[in-house]
Structure 1
């Protein structure tokens, strides 16, 4: 049976000052993130995951750079992207960056790849959004070839072909890095993950994933399923109640460009309920909810995404501490 792993995930949300109309200092935020990763490692948390964005309200555009800095101040924690927007990235460079991180960290690097629910990177790097789906399919195919083959011969439609070329440096495990594929709620994205034998990173349609994974001949003992959900742990009810302001502000910033209605306290409280998607509450509440989905879906990994709306550093450190002690004890 696979060990059940717990992790902490972040996007590097920047707090917004309503008076100055400015976002928080990115340099200070990055230093806080590194301190938070160091604490997670010291507590024995299994994984730290960092996502890529290209917006003013997030500080991390290059997860592998921050993770490389974290590699030098940690000893055991796995360091992964969640996610690298592969559709607008170069697969050769993605492999090189993460294999370098793997060598620096002593074999602790993992890649989480996705199509990108935020689309700023497409025009930024010169990609056509009309190719959104095909870009991901093609680049994932190339990345997996690079990951498993010393010499790569490959041809696609949207990128120049490779002819008997090797990508250096090679990662520690015979050149092979763990690759997770992040999926949303569509059968197509789940089917892709199952067909390729990659672990999936989100909750919907897990039964469909399991069925397709087995139908494509993969070893059930190697099946990995993880979810990545918004989380905050505090034993102080005032902190949990007050966190609504941070959470709603970020949801509304994102929603303003997507046509969402304003985020309400009722939605927040509903999300925190037993059936809701928010893992926000005291250590007993969060642990109970993780155990419920762990059993329901047969999870091998749970990543607690903790920095939505940029709660302050002290709240984050305490949340990580509780997650790595009280919650970890109950879910392991």
Structure 2
């Protein structure tokens, strides 16, 4: 936390050295996962905890930052986003689909925070606004329910 009370997260994209450096300076770790299985980053979550212990710093909650897109239905999500998003395809779909994938990633990594990039690319503004609405009003509450159950 900064002197002004702001929490600063350090983004890491998959190098062990960056994970260790983040632990050394006692910052929260934010893992950038742009595709593939999120659980492949579990060793970095473990490394962060071990390194913080070794350095005598605090192992803060770990977060993940990942692309995704939420629409009213899976089909609509694919139609709107897929052409603009072919490479980063893991977390698109209806709120239920996205919530299941988010919860699985959170459980698989043991992270305490999930940030989704839902507004990148040439997506129409109306679709981005709807994605934000569905993410906040449907997908996130579903994730909370899944994780609580």
TM-score interval (norm. to shorter): 0.7 to 0.9
Deviation of the 1:235 alpha carbon: 2.4
- 1:143-170 superposed Cα distances (whole Å, 9 cap, x missing partner): xxxx45xxxxxxxxxxxxxxxxxxxxxx
Query: 1:76-133 CA distances to partner (integer Å, 9 max, x unpaired)?
Result: xxxxxxxxxxxxxxxxxxxxxxxxxxxxxxxxxx9xxxxxxxxxxxxxxxxxxxxxxx
**CA distance in 1 between partners of 2:45 and 2:23 (Å):** 10
Higher relative contact order (CA 8 A, sep 6+): 2
Report the Cα offset of residue 286 of structure 1. 0.9
What RMSD in Å do the two structures reach over aligned CA positions? 2.0
Is 1:245–2:83 an aligned residue pair? yes
Higher helix share: 2
**Aligned-residue offset at 1:224:** 1.8
Cα offset for 1:237? 3.4
| 2:135 aligned with 1:323 | yes
Normalised by the length of structure 2, the TM-score is 0.78
Q: Indicate whether 1:296 and 2:108 are aligned.
A: yes
1:214 aligns with 2:50: no
Q: CA deviation at 1:190?
A: 0.8
Listed as ranges, the gaps of 5+ residues in structure 1 are 1-109, 111-146, 149-170, 249-266, 272-277
Q: Secondary structure at the match of 2:61?
A: coil
> What secondary structure is seen at the aligned counterpart in 2 of 1:179?
coil
SS in 2 for 1:228: strand
Residues 1:224 and 2:61 are matched in the alignment: yes
Structure of greater Rg: 1
Unaligned runs of 5+ in 2: 34-40, 145-149
The offset of 1:241, in angstroms, is 2.0
2:23 maps to 194
